[in-house]
């Protein structure tokens, strides 16, 4: 039986993926790196510690870390306030909570972003636990975030299901032994999410809520 649902945030509950793309474009451009938006978009879902080395592998570790830190500052200053919840995102978390599931936010966002999103969704009283990049050494697609979420929730991988929107969410959860429901709201193609190993795919939070009773969340 599923005892916990581990929700990614960016692109899953909050419409923020394109805002992250814009922030990365600005940071790369200001540092003199010509990285186009489509290339960045394919890496969204990874934390900066994995995204930057993928796109700019020839930079030193110090330079890569500076870009990742720069993205965090730019996103918080210029883009975070523009992020909005997807329709029915809060209702989906409430449904899972009312269904007796532990609701966990399993994000590799910063703690400040996580707190902002928690308040934006209005779900603080629904949460059993939450994770941020501060809880791990390595972001998605490493399994650390979901492993930390399992530990905080006090459940085994077989008792949890993850909900995410990128292949990196699916890979991360899978490597932690957790099945994944993937949403198309983050901008990735169905085929990409299927190839990553998603167990079920829905259009967005509202679609998953509408089909909740037949979804892996209700097992």
Q: What is the pLDDT of residue 167?
A: 98
Task: Name the token pair of 188.
Answer: 């990735």
Over residues 202-211, mean pLDDT: 98
Q: Are 22 and 100 within one domain?
A: no
| 45 Rama sector, left if φ>0, alpha if ψ -120 to 50, beta otherwise | left
Nearest alpha-carbon partner for 86 in 140, 24, 9, 20: 9
What is the pLDDT confidence band of residue 108, given thresholds at 50, 70 and 90? confident
pLDDT tens track for 1-13: 999 999 999 999 9
What is the pLDDT confidence band of residue 204, given thresholds at 50, 70 and 90? very high
Residues 114, 107 contacting (CB under 8 angstroms) = yes
pLDDT tens track for 123-144: 999 999 999 999 998 999 999 9
Q: Are 72 and 101 within one domain?
A: no
Task: Name the token pair of 50.
Answer: 């994995």
CA distances from 61 to 7, 53, 68 (A): 30, 8, 11
Q: Are 139 and 206 within one domain?
A: yes
Arithmetic mean of pLDDT over the chain? 97
User: How many domains is the chain partitioned into structurally?
Assistant: 2
- How crowded is the C-beta side of 75, counted as CA atoms within 13 Å? 25
Q: Are 105 and 192 within one domain?
A: yes
pLDDT at 41 over 90: yes
Q: Are 144 and 191 within one domain?
A: yes
Q: Are 111 and 198 within one domain?
A: yes
Q: Are 74 and 113 within one domain?
A: no
Q: What is the pLDDT of residue 185?
A: 98
What is the pLDDT confidence band of residue 105, given thresholds at 50, 70 and 90? very high
Q: Are 103 and 75 within one domain?
A: no
Q: In the listed set 31, 59, 82, which residue is the last one of a domain according to the structure? A: 82
pLDDT at 55 over 90: yes
CATH of the domain at 106: 3.40.50.1000
Residue span of the structural domain in which 40 resides:
17-82
Residues 181, 193 contacting (CB under 8 angstroms) = no
Q: What is the pLDDT of residue 78?
A: 97
Q: How far is Cα 145 from Cα 132, in angstroms, rounded to an integer?
A: 8
The answer to whether the predicted template modeling score (pTM) of the entire model surpasses 0.85 is yes
Q: Are 63 and 88 within one domain?
A: no
Q: How far is Cα 155 from Cα 57, in angstroms, rounded to an integer?
A: 37
Q: Are 94 and 155 within one domain?
A: yes
Q: What is the pLDDT of residue 74?
A: 97
Q: What is the pLDDT of residue 52?
A: 98
């Amino acid at each position: 039986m599923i005892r916990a649902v581990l929700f990614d945030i960016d692109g899953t509950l909050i419409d923020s993926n394109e805002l992250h793309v814009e922030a990365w474009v600005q940071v790369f451009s200001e540092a003199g790196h010509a990285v186009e938006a489509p290339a960045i978009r394919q890496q969204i879902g990874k934390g900066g510690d994995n995204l930057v080395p993928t796109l700019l592998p020839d930079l030193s570790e110090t330079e890569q870390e500076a870009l990742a830190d720069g993205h965090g500052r730019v996103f918080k200053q210029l883009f975070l306030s523009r992020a909005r919840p997807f329709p029915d995102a809060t209702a989906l978390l409430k449904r899972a909570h009312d269904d007796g599931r532990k609701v966990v936010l399993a994000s590799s966002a910063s703690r400040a972003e996580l707190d902002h999103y928690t308040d934006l969704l209005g779900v603080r009283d629904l949460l059993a636990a939450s994770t941020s990049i501060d809880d791990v050494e390595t972001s998605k697609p490493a399994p650390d975030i979901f492993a930390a979420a399992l530990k905080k929730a006090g459940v085994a991988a077989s008792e949890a299901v993850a909900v995410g929107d990128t292949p990196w969410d699916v890979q991360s959860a899978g490597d932690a032994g957790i099945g994944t429901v993937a949403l198309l709201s983050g901008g990735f193609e169905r085929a990409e999410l299927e190839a990553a190993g998603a167990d079920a795919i829905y259009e967005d939070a509202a679609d998953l809520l509408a089909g909740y009773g037949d979804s892996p969340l209700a097992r």
